[in-house]
Structure 1
Amino acid sequence: MLIRTLPEGREVRTFLGIVLVLTVGQGLWMALNAVYATSVLHLSAEQFGIGVGIAAGVALALSTPTGHLADRVGARRVQIWSLVAMGPLSAALLLVSDYPSYLLVISVQAVAYSASRGARLAMIAGLVPPEKRVPVRAYMRTMSNVGATAGASVAGVLLAIGSTAYYRGAVVAVALAYLASGLLTLLLPTVPGQPPRPGPALVVLRDRPFLAFVALDGLLSMHNMLLEVVLPLWVLQHTGAPRWTIAAILLLNTVLVVLLQVRASRGTDEPTSAARASRTGALCITAACLVFALSDGASAVTASALLLLGAIAHVLGEVRQAAGSWGIAFGLAPDDAQGQYQGTHAMGADIGKMIAPALLTWLAIGHGTVGWIVMAAGFAVLGAAMPPLVAWSRRGRKTEVPASA
C-alpha cells in the first residue's frame, strides 16, 4: 500500500530510497552504539554517556551554520559530501584505541551528521513545490520508521549472538549504508546555491518569531520521549500492567506512524493551517497524558487497556503535531535560506530531547498523577500558542516586504 501511494516524480522516489537506505544503517547503529562502545572499545558507561553528550552538543551548535552552508554551496553537494564522509568516519571506529580518539571520531561524525540533516531538508525545499513539501516530509518519516525498524531488527539478532566480530561487521555495514546514501544522492538534480544577500549571513538568528516557534516547538516535541523513556518506568513502578505491555506500546506506535503519518499531513502545507494541526496534535497528546494518569495503581487488565488507549491518543497527536511542525518550518522560511532555517528548526527538537528524559521522568515518576496533569496542561498551552505565534510571524513578514522592495 505504501509503495503504491508514493508521490509522483522520479526525484522524490529516489530521495525516499536514499532515506530508507540511510535509516537502515542508523537503526542498526542506534541499537548497537552503546554495546559496541562498552563491549568492544571497553569504555565505561560514564565515558560513553559523556561522549554522546559532547557529540550531541557539537551537532546542536552547528545546525544553523551547516544549514547556511547548504544554502550557499548547494544542498545536494553538501548532502553528498557529508554522507560520503560518514562512511570512513564510521569505519574509523574500528581503529579507535583510546578515549580521546573516540571523542574525536564521534565529534567529527556529529559535524557531518549536522550538515547532512540541514542539507536533506533544504533539498526538499529546492526540489519539491511548496504544496508538496510536507507530504514528502511525511513520506520521509514513514520510510525512516520502516528503515530504522529493519536496522534495529538486524541489531537484535546480532545482540542475541553477542559476537565481537559481528559487532565489527555491523560497523562496516553502517559505513556502507552512509556511503551508499551519499552516492545515491548523485542521481538527484542539482540544487543550486543561493547568492549571498546584504546583511547578516545567519538571518534566522534575527527572526524572533521563528526562534520563538523553534523554542516552543522543541518543548512540545518532548512528547516523543514519553513512550521511549517515561512510560516503561511508569509501567514498572506505578501500574500492575505486565512488562510485555511496554513492547506492545512501542510496536503499536511504530505501526500506526507508518500507517497514519502521510494521511495526517494533509492540509498542513500552509503555516496557518499547519499551526492549527499542531494545536490539534497537542490536544491529543494532552488527552494521552490524562489517560496514562488514570492507570496509576490500576490492575493488570485495566492498566493495560488504559495504557494502550493512551498510546493510540498519543500517536494520533504525534503524527498531527509533526506534520504541523514541518508545515510551519517550511512556510515561514525564506526560499533563499531554507537550509539555515531547517537546521535551526531541528535544534528545537534536539534541545527537547536533551531536556525531556529528566524533566518528564521527574514529573511522571516522581509526582505520579499530579505530574501527568501538569504535563498535560503544559502540552495544551504549547499547542495553543502555535496559531498566534504564526500570525505574529506573518504580520512581521508583511511589514518587511515594502522596506526590502
Structure 2
Amino acid sequence: MSSRILPPSGPPRVLALAQLTNAFGDGAYYVCSALYFTRIVGLSPTQVGFALTLGWALGSVAGVPLGHLADRWGARGAAALLAVATGVAAGSFLFVTSFALFVLAACLYTCCQCGLGAARQALLAGLVDKARRTEVRAHLQATVNAGLAIGAALGGLALHLDTRQAYLAVFAMDALSFLASALVLLRLPAVPPSPPAPAGEPVLAVLRDRPYALISLLNMIMLLHMPLLSLVIPLWIVQRTEAPSWTVSALLVLNTLSVVLFQVRVARRVTGLGTASRSVRQAGLVMLASCAVFALSAAGSSAWAAGAALLVAACLQVLGEMMHASGAWEVGFDLAPQDRQGQYQGFFGAGTAVARMLGPLLLTTLIITWGPPGWLLLGGLFLLAGSAMGPAVRWAERTRAAGSPRPAVAPPLPQESAS
C-alpha cells in the first residue's frame, strides 16, 4: 500500500509531505466553504459563484508570471513564499463579513494557489530526473487525494456541528496547513535560478509557443471532467435517475480510493511523449464510454439498474481521469524548457483554473438541461481532444527540433537527501 502512495525517499518524499500537509486543510475547506458563506455569512449562491469564477479567471492569468518568478528566484524559495501567501489568503476568509471582502479574499486565494502550483511543478522538475517525473507526480497525486479524503472527513465534522466556530476552525486549519507546508518545502535542496532571457528573446516565452498553447487547450478540454464528480453527477443522480441519494457519496469514495491505489500503476505505463500521447488518446475514448453509460443511467426503471449503470460509468470515468493525468503530466514537463519550467507549468496549469471557472456553468447546462444528448456531446469533446493530442505533440516536437523555443540544459541533480 505504501509503495502505491509514498514516492521514493529524498526530495520526492519531502514534496509529497509538503502537499499532504496542506491537503488536509484543503479537503476540509472544500467541504465547508460554500455552506459557510451562504448560511453563516449570508451570501447568495450567485454571489459565491461569481466571486469564485472571477477568482479562478485571475488565477489562470497569474500562474504564468508567478511561475516565471519561480524560475528567476529559485523554485524552492518561491514555492515556500507562495505557500505562506496562500496560507494568509486562506486565513483572510476568517474576516469575511460582506460580498466585497469575499471577492477580494477569493481572488487572492485563487491567484496564490495557481502560483503555488506552478512553483511546485518547477521544483519537482528541478529536483527529479526527467525519466521519473511522471511517476513521482503520480505519487504526489495519490498522496494529495488521501489527504483530501481525511480533510473532507474533518470538514464533515464541522458540517455536523454546523456552528460559526466550527467553520472558522476549518479555515484556520487550512491557513495553518499552508504555513506548515512552507516549512516542509524549505527542507528541500535549493534549485538554482534560471538566467535572464538573452537579448531579443521574450521574457514570457510560453506566450509565443503556439504548439504548447494548443496542447494546453486540449488538456483544458480534457480537464472538464473535474466538475463532474463534485457538481454535475450529484445533480444528475438526484434529478435524472432512480438511484438513492447516498450513491453520490459512494461514487466520491470510489473515485478517491481508485486514484490513491492505482494512479501510480497507471502512470508507470507512460515512459515518453509517444506513450503519453497514446494514454491521452485512450483516455478520451474511455471518457466517451463513461459519458455514454452515464446517459443510460437515466433510462433505468429501478434503483438497482440505475445504481449499476452509475457504478460502471464512475469506474470508466476515474480510469479515464488517471490515464489523462499520466499522459498530460509527461507532455507538460517534457515539452517545457528546463530553465522555464515555472512559467510553462503556470500556463499548462491554467487549464485547471479555467475548467473550475467555466466547467460548472457549461456542464450543468449541457447535461442537466439537455440530458443524455448532453452526455454524448461531452463524450465527443473528450474523444476529439484526446485524439488531437498526438498531432499537437508531434508539432511541438518538430518546433523544438528546429530550435524554437530555445532548448535548455538541465542543471545537475542534487546529490543530498532531504528525507
Q: TM-score, normalised by structure 2?
A: 0.91
Question: How far apart, CA to CA, are the structure 1 residues paired with 2:366 and 2:40?
Answer: 36
1:22-61, aligned counterparts within 5 Å?
22-61=22-61
Say whether the 8 Å CA contact 1:91–1:175 is kept in structure 2. yes
Q: Residue 281 of structure 1: which of 264, 280, 283 is its match? A: 283
> Paired residue for 1:340?
343
Match of 2:229 among 218, 227, 230: 227
Which residue of the partner structure matches residue 270 of structure 1? 272
The amino acid across from 2:195 in the alignment is P
Residues 109-124 of structure 1 mapped to structure 2, 5 A cutoff: 109-124=109-124
Say which is worse superposed, 141-150 or 288-297, in terms of deviation: 288-297
- Structure 2 residue 174 is the aligned partner of structure 1 residue 171: no
- SS of equivalent residue, structure 1 residue 400: coil
- For residue 362 of structure 2, what is the aligned residue in structure 1? 359
User: Do residues 390 (structure 1) and 397 (structure 2) align?
Assistant: no
Aligned to 1:152: 152
Q: Which has the higher contact order (CA 8 A, sep 6+)?
A: 2
Distance 1:98 1:239, change over 3 A: closer
Query: Aligned in 2, Cα 1:296/1:179: closer, same or farther, shift over 3 Å?
Result: same
Measured in 1, the distance between the counterparts of 2:220 and 2:404 equals 29
Q: Equivalences for 1:102-141 in 2 at 5 Å? A: 102-141=102-141
Please give the per-residue CA displacement for 1:325-367, whole angstroms capped at 9, x wherever unaligned.
Answer: 1111011101011011111001122222323222223232223
Q: Which has the higher helix share?
A: 1
Q: Percent identity, aligned pairs only?
A: 38
Mapped partners of 1:332, 1:403: distance in 2? 11
Q: Secondary structure at the match of 2:371?
A: helix
Structure 1 residues 404 and 187: CA distance shift in structure 2, 3 A: closer
- CA distance, structure 2, for counterparts of residue 5 and residue 313 of structure 1: 21
* Aligned partner letter, 1:249: L
Gaps of 5+ in 2: 409-419
Kindly state the Cα deviation for residue 56 of structure 1 after the two structures are TM-superposed. 1.4
Instruction: Determine the C-alpha separation between the residues in 2 that align with 1:233 and 1:93.
Output: 28
Aligned to 2:309: 306
Query: CA 1:269–1:72 in structure 2 vs 1: closer, same or farther (change >3 Å)?
Result: farther
Q: Can you list the C-alpha shifts for 1:94-148, whole angstroms capped at 9, x where unaligned?
A: 3344443333333233332222111000001000000110111101111111111
Query: Could you tell me how far apart the structure 1 residues matched to 2:323 and 2:31 are?
Result: 27
Q: Residue 302 of structure 1: CA displacement?
A: 1.3
Deviates most, 228-237 or 148-157: 228-237
Aligned equivalents of 2:376, 2:99: Cα separation in 1: 43
- The residue type equivalent to 2:287 in the other structure is I
Matching residue of 1:191:
191
**Alignment partner of 2:122: what SS?**
helix
Which residue does the alignment assign to 2:218? 216
Which letter does structure 2 place at the counterpart of 1:345? Answer: F
TM-score, normalised via structure 1 length:
0.95
For the structure 1 residues 43 and 361, does the alpha-carbon distance in structure 2 shift closer, same or farther, using more than 3 Å as the test? closer
Correspondent of 2:299 among 297, 300, 307: 297
The one-letter code matched in structure 2 to 1:257 is V
- Give the secondary-structure state (helix, strand or coil) at the position aligned to 1:230: helix
**Structure 1 unmatched ranges of 5 or more:** none
Structure-2 change in CA distance of 1:31 and 1:208 (3 Å): same
- Note the alpha carbon deviations across 1:210-266, whole angstroms, 9 max, x for none: 000111110111122222222222222222222222221111111111111000101
The superposition leaves residues 54-102 of structure 1 with CA deviations (integer Å, 9 ceiling, x where unpaired) of 2212211111111111111111111111112233333333334444333
Q: Secondary structure at the match of 1:234?
A: helix
- Distance of aligned partners of 1:188 and 1:86 in 2 relative to their CA distance in 1, 3 Å threshold: same
